[in-house]
Structure 1
Amino acid sequence: MSEKQTPLGALVTAGAMQNAAEAITDTIFMVKDISNAYLVTTADGDVMINTGFIGNGPRTKDLFAPHRTGPLRRIILTQSHADHYGALPEQLETDTHIIAGAGFTETAEYFDRLAPFLARRSGKLWASLTRRNGPPPVPPKVVPDVEVSDVLAFEHGGRSFEVHKTSGGETLCAVFVWLPAERTIFTGNLFGPVWRAMPNLVTIRGDRPRLVRAYLRSLDTVRALEPDLVITGHGEPIRGAHSIRADLDAMRAAVVHIERETIAGMNAGKSVHALMRDITLPEDGRIGEFHGKTSWVVRAIWEENAGWFHYADGTTGLYHVPRSAVDADLAALAGTAPLVARALAHLDAGRPLEALHLVEIALTAEPADPQALAVRKSALERLATDAAGRNLSETMWLKAEIADVDAILAAGDRTAPRPDTGSPAATAGNAALGD
């Protein structure tokens, strides 16, 4: 599989070679990190918006130091993912005031409760990207001085700030920061980590679902402000009211189209998998699929409206025994060799998913069968080729699965970890890439 960096992967590693904070304006500076940190200077000290990831606090502080104008009066956190607040302890000064969205503490507690579960899943996806080994870093305990439930407006050092609680960010506690005089907005990851791209309403690593209508309401709120400058959680700022409006319109149109078509398909009696296959964006309405994907948004909307039980799963979907529980029986009846041969036929016909279904049945009976493993690896590589490195989560998942097969082949048995049992690594339990 190609080692070409995905667009989102390039963004989250962009700070690796940065040796000076970048000036966005004369009074706004950026330090790139897994999620970026921003410094806003005023006539009476400074305001920081997000701080960067765990362990990068000294770097953030050093890069901002040449631009500091006085005490750090406030730190505003746009969401409770550790890549946004992990470097906070090193930035704190006497009387620094911490501002976050309502639910920040509750969301952080949610990540704490599920830390081992989320660490395993995040480790499988992100270990190779973040180049961290061993146990995941532990996020700092942050207690905001204020949790904003609507709008918090304040004047500081001759500048006006507004902190707006949003209904549809990457976390349920998300806020954005609006500087009305400059018509500048800090959105964090309100629209995901990549601008003009598909939202990831439910991440594959696991997180609380984000509702599609809440996302659209948040987008409409930002659009109504008519900003001239958008500063996001990752990447370069977006400049120009006309371009920003066009991008927001495109993002809105794409998500509205997917929701409309999904609801229509549900009402017509189509299955979720049929809709995931069939719903696409018009050629002139496509946006990036670097973090979310059209098919994933379809599934998220379906399950937001219909819940976890799919009638197509039948009676057994109501109970604790999955269909895979009889894979060994199917393999015994059909034989490993015929299953592998049929899987290979599917693969040769351009159907790698069908090939994976069959070869997984075969591997239940013969976990170390080299022919079955070879077909599985080829099917995964075909999916990776088709994905073309566009979507980071998909790409990292496929890379991890291929690495698992390679490890099994090298060891001569099937002892490599499977999904949800991999070793924790890479990120904090609350999933640094935000996801």
Structure 2
Amino acid sequence: MQPITRDANQPLNAQIINDGAGKQDAVDLGSGIFMSKDVSNLYLVTTPAGSVLINTGIIYSAAENKRRFDAVTDKPIRKIVFTQSHEDHIGGWPTFNTPDIETIGQANLPFVRTQYRDLGKAMGARSRRLWSRDQKQELTERPEPVLTTTFHDRHAFELGGRRFELYSVPGGETVDSLVVWLPEERIVFTGNMTGPIFGHVPNLYTVRGERYRYVQWYIDSVQRVIDLNPNVLVTGHGEPVRGAAEIRSRLTRMRDATQYLRDETFKGMNAGKSLWELMETIKLPAELAIPQGHGKVPWIVRAIWEEHLGWFRYESSTELYSVPTQSVLPDLIALAGGDATALDLAAKYFGDNAPLKALHIAEAIAPASPHYHRALEIQLYAQRLILDAAGRENFSEVRWLESEIRRLEAALAGDN
């Protein structure tokens, strides 16, 4: 697969999300398979007896996605398969579904959808904060697909002379993730099992808010795809990856990089090192260094720590109770000389190249303080420095910092 070119100041995910916007044709991938680009791509596998639709895209693109596929075949869709239960995979189901279509998903899909329904308001608000620049249309309705067939570990069927095998890969973005395998053609559809950008570190925790993805399940899921030995790998985003050797090499590196982070985190935990030390010191070695466009190594370390040891770090009894550190910071600042003195210290941290420490102090200044305007200026400057240092590689990190910068800019404008 050729590298994707992009604007250096634009996260790769932003371009991928908008790849399918507007009226365009389905893309012929060969072997009777067609791709419709969307927030997450959907695929039509054609046969003489009808088609299998892999994912249905997001709801607001459903009519356009259906138009694209209607233009490439007049054979009906016989089966719909979901590689996972996120909105950008299942949202178009009502547009494509008819009473005679079989809808297939992994058995955990209803369980995961219950979480999304029950937490829809909270998760939606967080997603909008991060992705308002990239997803121009808000989801105002969330239709729920009705599964006619579920399975736990594996399921197979034939249609029009093509064999389809489905395998559970719970280490993907959701515990209902599956891959679709065409054994005769040696083509595998992985959806977003390895994240939205293939070849990057996993996203074991997403900043928008989501349950942790278990690291061993991820490693095992990648191994399951390696064992298939595919010649073509089709993901939820971007172009297919072609060539058995290329696919095996990239999947192996992803597996080994994740195994290394898992082992190093375990080693550090067993040595009694703090979470913060491990987040700071664990790095991928050069031979395993892969991009961090959606996941990020320190976040992976934290996800592994909290998956296995939980949120109580044994650092302080205060972790067990509902009084946060921030509640006493204003009193400590007063004792240490007041807001002005504290902000002088924050400004000094900039000279020490420590913008995160400056941000900690500036965020402790109360809105009622006469020095609050300066505190906001220091927060804004710190966020800009942190963004510059981040290198704009990680989508969620960039979008979060940009949203904070816009918030602080608006607050300062209103304060003048």
Query: What TM-score, normalized by structure 2, do the two folds share?
Result: 0.95
Task: Report the equivalent of 2:64.
Answer: 59
Give the drift of 1:340: 1.2
What aligned pairs does 1:390-409 form with structure 2 within 5 A after superposition? 390-409=393-412
Q: Partner of 1:79: helix, strand, or coil?
A: coil
Determine if the alignment matches structure 1 residue 73 to structure 2 residue 101: no
What aligned pairs does 1:384-395 form with structure 2 within 5 A after superposition? 384-395=387-398
Q: Distance in 1 between matches of 2:165 and 2:380?
A: 51
Q: Can you list the C-alpha shifts for 1:3-47, whole angstroms capped at 9, x where unaligned? A: 922012211111125611111114111111110011110010111
Determine if the alignment matches structure 1 residue 375 to structure 2 residue 378: yes
Determine if the alignment matches structure 1 residue 410 to structure 2 residue 399: no
Q: Distance in 1 between matches of 2:33 and 2:312?
A: 49
Q: Partner of 2:295: helix, strand, or coil?
A: coil
Q: Partner of 1:164: helix, strand, or coil?
A: strand
Contact 1:105–1:143 (8 Å) recurs in 2: no
Q: Distance in 2 between matches of 1:186 and 1:69?
A: 23
Q: Partner of 2:203: helix, strand, or coil?
A: coil
Label 1:48 to 1:147 Cα distance change in 2 as closer, same or farther (>3 A).
same
Task: Report the equivalent of 1:257.
Answer: 260
Label 1:187 to 1:18 Cα distance change in 2 as closer, same or farther (>3 A).
farther
Residue 238 of structure 2 aligns to which amino acid in structure 1?
G
Contact 1:22–1:31 (8 Å) recurs in 2: yes
* One of 24, 30, 43 as aligned partner of 2:29: 24
Q: Distance in 2 between matches of 1:14 and 1:309?
A: 42
Give the drift of 1:398: 0.3
Contact 1:42–1:69 (8 Å) recurs in 2: no
Give the drift of 1:367: 8.4
Q: Partner of 1:196: helix, strand, or coil?
A: coil
Q: Distance in 1 between matches of 2:369 and 2:93?
A: 50
Q: Partner of 2:197: helix, strand, or coil?
A: coil
Give the drift of 1:128: 1.6
Label 1:18 to 1:342 Cα distance change in 2 as closer, same or farther (>3 A).
farther
Task: Report the equivalent of 2:329.
Answer: 327
Give the drift of 1:235: 0.9
Gaps in structure 1 of 5+ consecutive residues: 414-435
Task: Report the equivalent of 2:144.
Answer: 141
Task: Report the equivalent of 2:51.
Answer: 46
Q: Can you list the C-alpha shifts for 1:274-324, whole angstroms capped at 9, x where unaligned? A: 100000011221111011011111001111110110112x01111111111
Task: Report the equivalent of 1:119.
Answer: 124
Q: Distance in 2 between matches of 1:84 and 1:266?
A: 37
Q: Partner of 1:195: helix, strand, or coil?
A: coil
Q: Can you list the C-alpha shifts for 1:404-428, whole angstroms capped at 9, x where unaligned? A: 1011112219xxxxxxxxxxxxxxx
Q: Distance in 2 between matches of 1:204 and 1:41?
A: 37
Contact 1:24–1:30 (8 Å) recurs in 2: yes
Q: Distance in 2 between matches of 1:265 and 1:227?
A: 36
Give the drift of 1:93: 2.7
Task: Report the equivalent of 1:151.
Answer: 154
Label 1:377 to 1:367 Cα distance change in 2 as closer, same or farther (>3 A).
farther
Give the drift of 1:378: 0.8
What aligned pairs does 1:230-269 form with structure 2 within 5 A after superposition? 230-269=233-272
Query: Which shifted more, 357-366 or 291-300?
Result: 357-366
Residue 114 of structure 2 aligns to which amino acid in structure 1?
E
Q: Distance in 2 between matches of 1:393 and 1:363?
A: 28
Task: Report the equivalent of 1:428.
Answer: none
Task: Report the equivalent of 2:96.
Answer: 91
Q: Partner of 2:20: helix, strand, or coil?
A: helix
Give the drift of 1:348: 2.4
Q: Which has the higher contact order (CA 8 A, sep 6+)?
A: 1
Residue 202 of structure 2 aligns to which amino acid in structure 1?
P
* One of 335, 343, 362 as aligned partner of 1:359: 362
Q: Can you list the C-alpha shifts for 1:47-81, whole angstroms capped at 9, x where unaligned? A: 10011112111010011111124111011001110
* One of 339, 343, 347 as aligned partner of 1:340: 343
What aligned pairs does 1:419-430 form with structure 2 within 5 A after superposition? none
Identical aligned residues as a percent: 40
Q: Distance in 2 between matches of 1:174 and 1:310?
A: 31
Give the drift of 1:207: 1.2
Residue 124 of structure 2 aligns to which amino acid in structure 1?
A
Contact 1:86–1:140 (8 Å) recurs in 2: yes
> Once superposed, what is the RMSD of the aligned Cα atoms?
1.6
Q: Partner of 2:71: helix, strand, or coil?
A: helix
Q: Distance in 2 between matches of 1:367 and 1:352?
A: 22
Q: Partner of 2:30: helix, strand, or coil?
A: coil
Q: Distance in 2 between matches of 1:244 and 1:17?
A: 31
* One of 259, 273, 276 as aligned partner of 2:276: 273
Gaps in structure 2 of 5+ consecutive residues: 1-6
Task: Report the equivalent of 2:224.
Answer: 221
Give the drift of 1:197: 0.6
Contact 2:60–2:137 (8 Å) recurs in 1: no
Q: Distance in 1 between matches of 2:370 and 2:45?
A: 57
Contact 1:46–1:69 (8 Å) recurs in 2: no
Residue 326 of structure 1 aligns to which amino acid in structure 2?
V
Contact 2:339–2:371 (8 Å) recurs in 1: no
Q: Partner of 2:234: helix, strand, or coil?
A: strand
Residue 322 of structure 2 aligns to which amino acid in structure 1?
H
Determine if the alignment matches structure 1 residue 35 to structure 2 residue 37: no
Residue 316 of structure 1 aligns to which amino acid in structure 2?
T
Task: Report the equivalent of 2:172.
Answer: 169
Give the drift of 1:203: 1.2
* One of 16, 32, 37 as aligned partner of 1:11: 16
Query: Which shifted more, 201-210 or 257-266?
Result: 201-210
Q: Distance in 1 between matches of 2:140 and 2:154?
A: 33
Q: Distance in 1 between matches of 2:260 and 2:370?
A: 43
Q: Partner of 1:317: helix, strand, or coil?
A: helix
Contact 2:39–2:88 (8 Å) recurs in 1: yes
Give the drift of 1:152: 0.9
